Amino acid sequence: MKILAVGKNYANHIAEMKTEFDKFSGEPVVFLKPDTALLKDNAPFYYPEFSQDVHHEVEILIKICKEGKNIQEKFAHKYYEEIGIGIDFTARDIQAKLKANSYSWEIAKGFNGSAPVSYFVPKTDFLDLQNINFSLKINDEIRQEGNTSLMIFKIDYIIAYLSRYFTLKQGDIIFTGTPAGVGAVKVGDKLSAFIEDKEMLTFLVK
């Protein structure tokens, strides 16, 4: 399986990063994480020794249910049946150096354990996938809150766009971008991610 991720998909996060949206012709920023980034079943996240500034980014996840490429946006909904929530851990200090040199972000985004994911629930549990509240608490304090209505690129567009370049396969997971409120985590923190009021993911930083 592979993990695909979209960056800069919520205007309030773009603003907090003091970055710009449309440098690249208004298309999504895309990066990948290897399968070794995946953390499942509330497994702990081990803080990497190469960074002093690992940030949380809570994001809604889409799980691909069948293979497809060059998917038309109007048919994209046929390629996913479940959604979840995850953390796009980012070594912000390393990413800043990479950005300064216009290098790709992979080591800042794709390192071991950088993609904790929840269990997945049927999309039919929700009336409108583009109007879902989600949030992250750290040590039981709210740190990030978002609503999928605020995505710049909507889920079906993201699937169509990614499938132009990458054949999507059953089991692939797409991270759809983070809202404002990103910040550093530290050893000992407990992270808990929610879709609406349901706690879907909770784990410790060790």
Minimum Å gap between C-beta 75 and Mg ion is 26
- Asked if 10 touches Mg ion (CB under 5 A), the answer is no
Residue nearest Mg ion (C-beta atom):
88
- Asked if 88 touches Mg ion (CB under 5 A), the answer is yes
What residues from 67 to 86 belong to the interface with Mg ion (CB under 5 A)? none
Query: How far is residue 138's CA from residue 201's CA, in Å, rounded to a whole number?
Result: 12
Nearer to Mg ion, 33 or 137 (CB): 33
49's CB contacts (< 8 A; 6+ apart) are none
Minimum Å gap between C-beta 146 and Mg ion is 11
Query: How far is residue 3's CA from residue 172's CA, in Å, rounded to a whole number?
Result: 6
Which has the closest alpha carbon to 92: 109, 111, 114, 113? 109
Minimum Å gap between C-beta 127 and Mg ion is 26
Task: Indicate the pairing of strand 29-33 with strand 3-7.
Answer: antiparallel
Nearer to Mg ion, 67 or 106 (CB): 106
Nearer to Mg ion, 68 or 85 (CB): 85
Residue from 95, 118, 148, 178 touching Mg ion (CB under 5 A): that is 178
Residue from 8, 14, 39, 57 touching Mg ion (CB under 5 A): that is 57
- Asked if 156 touches Mg ion (CB under 5 A), the answer is no
Range in contact with Mg ion (rule: CB under 5 A) among 51-59, 91-99, 138-146, 160-168:
51-59
CA-CA distances (angstroms) from residue 139 to 16, 36, 164, 185, 205?
23, 26, 40, 11, 11
DSSP secondary structure letters along 59-97: EEEEEE-S-BSS--GGGGGGGEEEEEEEE--EEHHHHHH
Q: What DSSP designation does 45 have?
A: B
Residue count, binding to Mg ion (CB under 5 A): 3
Minimum Å gap between C-beta 45 and Mg ion is 15
Q: Looking up tokens 């009336």, which residue turns up? A: 127
Residues that bind Mg ion (CB under 5 A): 57, 88, 178
